Structure 1
Amino acid sequence: MVKIKSNGKELETGDELLELVGPRTEVKTISLERRTLACVWYLSNQETFRSIVDRFGLSKGSLHYFLRKFCNIITSNEILQQLIRWPSSDSEFQNISENFTQRAGFPNVIGALDGTYIPILGPTAFRESYICRKGFPALHLQAVCDTDLKFLDVFCAYPGSVHDSRVFKNSPLYTELQNNPVPRQYHLLGDSAYGNSETVLVPFRDNGHLNADEKRYNNAHSSTRVDIERSFGLLKGKFRRLRYVEMKRVEDIPSLVVTCCGLHNFIIQRERYTDEDIDMDAADGDGPPGTCSVARDTGAVDKSGHEKRLQVMHSLQ
């Protein structure tokens, strides 16, 4: 069995990963095993590029080439759709919902939605557009997860200065939800960075005057939505390269980030994880877990979303 290490821990799924990427990799003098090990090691550690090429006996050019090819394979439609898949049947929605309900009684949740920053070196041109609200250059990763901390959808394309709500409304997921709405009783949970709607329920804004029902709703909401923060913590705990991606070609970084998300699911589907694997300090990339920016006030209120939130609030009594 081939042993592949992620964050210093051996993955029992090494052979399966080689079987996944092998048929899509051209024959080279350097073995498939060594190439794959080098790529996974790069993604799993913050070790310098020079140190990694020395460790695996590669040239810098070779590792750059193999890493790009590896990411292209994992993010290809054929592979990525096997690893990260949006639920499509009512039975899938119901199963996910039941698992979420067990957490704090919050009904009909089919995913926890959030964004996190991926710190990067940043480009020279248009650098200010990459500076996130925490003051460093970053890319925005949006994701939805289930209770197993498995990603149901990921999207990495926008620089760090773009607000979460705008990223969501310009994401393929938003388009999918508009064109193929989920059954009306189901919804995602998002934090206050998103606008409240029938599709995404957010907390009541705490202005210091919340009543007991609203506080109960917010507590159940937070206790349920925390899984997306734990997913980011597990992702960055296993793939430590995402804590700071020192790549000069910014256009190559989204593929690397999504590759890590795909491997995250690949591992979860095959191996157990423990709380020790979850690094909550690195979960958000933008502050302590649970902090967020407030959605920009457009002056418009989604009435159906407001009514749905009240219905859920009353059901929690």
Structure 2
Amino acid sequence: MNRQQTKLPVCNSVLACLWTLTNQESYRGVADRFNVAQSTLSTHLHHFSSLVTTHHKRSFCHVNIGHPGSWNDARAFRNTDVARLLEEDPQALVPEGMHIIGDSAYPLLRQLMKLYRDNEHLTSRQWRFKQKLTAARVAIELLAS
């Protein structure tokens, strides 16, 4: 592939974006690794957006890729199979007593927990919940790295 081309096969685009997001390599290094110009890599990263759902077994159970990078998290989430299942048949996705931990932009649902907004008026109980949920989110986000 010519380095000057801005079109990249979808597979290469996804791989380059995932590599960039999960490694501490510079854009220049990633562009060299995938034989594309830095500007091409930047363009594809800008348009790359993903939603990854993991479970307690430390593996991915849902991966949704393809929404433009300019979409906000709430809009990207609304357009996933996970969001559809949570609305239509939540027990098919999340067993009783289990929950999905979501981004603060996601809707609050019975099976989808998210952080309290920190408007500096949280009770001590809400603050502890927020700390525990944040710790769980950090542990989950480490799966992707």
Given that 2:50 and 2:64 are in contact with CA atoms closer than 8 Å, whether structure 1 keeps it comes out as yes
The more displaced of 220-229 and 198-207 is 220-229
Aligned to 1:140: 49
Query: 1:48, 1:157 → 2: CA distance?
Result: 19
Deviations 1:163-186 (A, max 9, x none): 111111111122223332224533
User: In the alignment, does 2:74 pair up with 1:162?
Assistant: no
Contact 2:47 2:67 in 1 (8 A): no
Q: Structure 1: state its 5+ residue gaps.
A: 1-38, 51-118, 124-135, 234-317
Output the CA distance in 2 between the equivalents of 1:48 and 1:192: 34
Kept in 2, the 8 Å contact 1:120–1:138? The answer is no
The 8 Å contact of residues 51 and 64 in structure 2, kept in 1 or not, is answered as yes
Give the superposition deviation at 1:147. 3.6
**Cα distance 1:177–1:221, how it changes in 2: closer, same or farther (>3 A)?**
same
Residues 155, 171 of structure 1: 8 Å contact kept: yes
Shift of 1:48: 4.6
- Supply the distance in 2 between the matched residues of 1:205 and 1:197 (Cα, whole angstroms): 15
User: Which residue in the other structure is 1:222 paired with?
Assistant: 134
Between the aligned partners of 2:67 and 2:81, the Cα distance in structure 1 is 13
Which amino acid is the alignment partner of residue 204 of structure 1? Y
Aligned CA distance change for structure 1 residues 155 and 146 (closer, same or farther; 3 Å): same
Equivalent position to 2:116, from 198, 204, 207: 204
C-alpha separation in 2, matches of 1:169 and 1:193: 11
Number of residue pairs aligned between Structure 1 and Structure 2: 113
Q: 1:213 maps to what in 2? A: 125
Q: Cα RMSD (Å) of the superposition? A: 2.8
Q: TM-score, with normalisation over the residues of structure 1?
A: 0.32
In the alignment, is the contact (CA less than 8 A) between 1:190 and 1:202 conserved in 2? yes
Q: What residue number does 1:272 align with?
A: none
Distance in 2, Cα, partners of 1:209 & 1:179: 34
Structure of greater relative contact order (alpha carbons < 8 Å, 6+ residues apart): 1
Q: Distance in 2 between matches of 1:200 and 1:170?
A: 16
Percent identity between the aligned chains?
25
- 1:49 equivalenced with 2:35 (yes/no): yes
Relative distance call for 1:181 and 1:139 in structure 2 (3 A) is same
Question: Is 1:122 aligned to 2:43, yes or no?
Answer: yes
Cα displacement string for residues 251-301 of structure 1 (whole angstroms, at most 9, x for unaligned residues): xxxxxxxxxxxxxxxxxxxxxxxxxxxxxxxxxxxxxxxxxxxxxxxxxxx
Q: Tell me, what secondary structure is at the counterpart of 1:158?
A: coil
